[in-house]
Amino acid sequence: MVFSSVLCFLLTKVFKILKVEEGMTLEIYTTSVIPIGAMFAMTLWLGNTAYLYISVAFAQMLKAIMPVAVFILGVAAGLEVMSCRMLLIMSVISFGVLVASYGEINISWIGVVYQMGGVVGESLRLIFMEILVKRKGLKLNPISIMYYVSPCSALCLFIPWIFLEKPKMDAHGMWNLHPVVLTLNSLCTFALNLSVFLVISHTSALTIRVAGVVKDWVVVLVSALLFADTKLTVINLFGYGIAIAGVAAYNNHKLKREAIRNISDDSQAALTIPTATSSNLNR
C-alpha cells in the first residue's frame, strides 16, 4: 500500500502522466474513502493470513462465495432487491462452495475463517464503493481510487502491525523480507489495478467479468501444478464448477439489468430533447 501510494503520487503529481479526478471533499473522504481503505486493509490482512493455513487453490474456491456476501450486504444496505431468481443463484453458489469444501483433503478451519473474513471485508469494500458512486455521485477512475485509498489502507495496516506482528518479528528475527520479491509483488499489484482500468476503458465490464472467471480457473489449476500442498479431488473440482456456474449466472443477471437500465436512461434522454426543442419553438 505504501508502494502504491508513492507510485500514484509520482505518476499524478510529479510526472503528471495520469490525472486525479477532482470532486473529493473532506466529508466524502471521512465517510467513504476511510471505510473503503479500512475494508481493503481487512481484506489484505485476513486474506494473506489464510494462505498460512490453506492452499492457494482452496482459497480461490472459497472466494467464489463473494457474490453471495456482496448480495446479502447489498440487500441490507438497500442497494439490491431480493428476488426468487437471485435467491436461487445464491443457493447454487453456496452449494458449490460447500461441495468444494467437503472435497478438500487437508482442510483447516482456521484458514477457512480467515478467508471468509477476507471475503466479508472485500464485500464491504465493494458496497462502500457502490455507495460512493450511487449516493454521493463521485465517479473516480482506478488511479484516483488508488491515490486516495492506498495511504488510508497503509495506515490501517500499520497500526495493528505494530502491536500484533512487529513483536513476533522482533522475537524471531524475521526481518529478512527479500526486497526483490517484495518489490515484484508490489509491482504486480499496481499493474493489476492499472490493467483493469485499461481493459474497462477499451472494452466493457463484460470482458472483465468473463476474464475474472477464466482467471479463477487458471489460478486453481496452476497452483495445483506449482505447489505441493495443493491436492485437488474430483469433488473439489465438481463443487467449484457448480459455484462458477452460479457466478456466471449472477454476472449474466447483473449485466442484463445494467443493459435494461442503460436503455431506459437513453429513452428518457431522447424524450427530453424534443420537449426542449418544442419549448424553444413556442418561445
- State the Cα–Cα distance between residues 209 and 195, nearest whole angstrom: 14
22 CB burial (10 A radius; 0-12, 13-18, 19+): exposed
Q: What is the pLDDT of residue 251?
A: 81
Q: What is the pTM of this model?
A: 0.81
pLDDT at 38: 95
Residue 240: Cβ-neighbour burial (10 angstroms; 0-12, 13-18, 19+): buried
Q: Which residue type occupies 133?
A: V
Q: How many CA atoms lie within 13 A of 276 on its CB side?
A: 6
Question: Alpha helices of 77-141 — where are they, by DSSP H?
Answer: 84-102, 109-134
pLDDT given at position 276:
47
The reported pLDDT for the residue numbered 202 is 65
Which of these, 244, 213, 214, 207, lies nearest to 89 by C-alpha position? Answer: 244
Q: Tell which residue, 141, 127, 161, 148, has the closest CA to residue 30.
A: 148
Local confidence pLDDT in tens for the 283 residues of the chain? 999 999 999 988 998 887 887 788 888 899 889 999 999 999 999 999 999 999 889 998 998 898 899 889 988 888 888 889 899 999 999 999 999 988 887 789 999 999 999 999 988 988 888 888 777 777 777 788 889 999 999 999 998 899 988 888 888 877 777 889 889 999 998 888 777 666 755 665 556 666 777 788 888 888 888 887 678 889 999 999 999 999 888 888 877 877 787 787 777 766 665 554 444 545 5
pLDDT at 10: 92
- Provide the 10 A C-beta neighbour count for residue 79: 16
Q: Which amino acid is at 147?
A: Y
Looking from the CA of 73 toward its CB, the CA atoms found within 13 Å total 19
Q: Are 224 and 57 in contact (CB under 8 A)?
A: yes
Position 157 scores a pLDDT of 94
pLDDT value at residue 283: 52
What pLDDT score was predicted for residue 204? 57
> Are 69 and 123 spatial neighbours (Cβ–Cβ below 8 Å)?
yes
Output DSSP code: residue 21. P
- Rounded Cα distance between 86 and 220, Å, is 26
Based on its alpha-carbon atoms, the radius of gyration of the chain, rounded to whole angstroms, reads: 22
Interaxial angle between packed helices 205-226 and 56-63, expressed in degrees from 0 to 180 and rounded to the nearest 10:
150
pLDDT at 6: 93
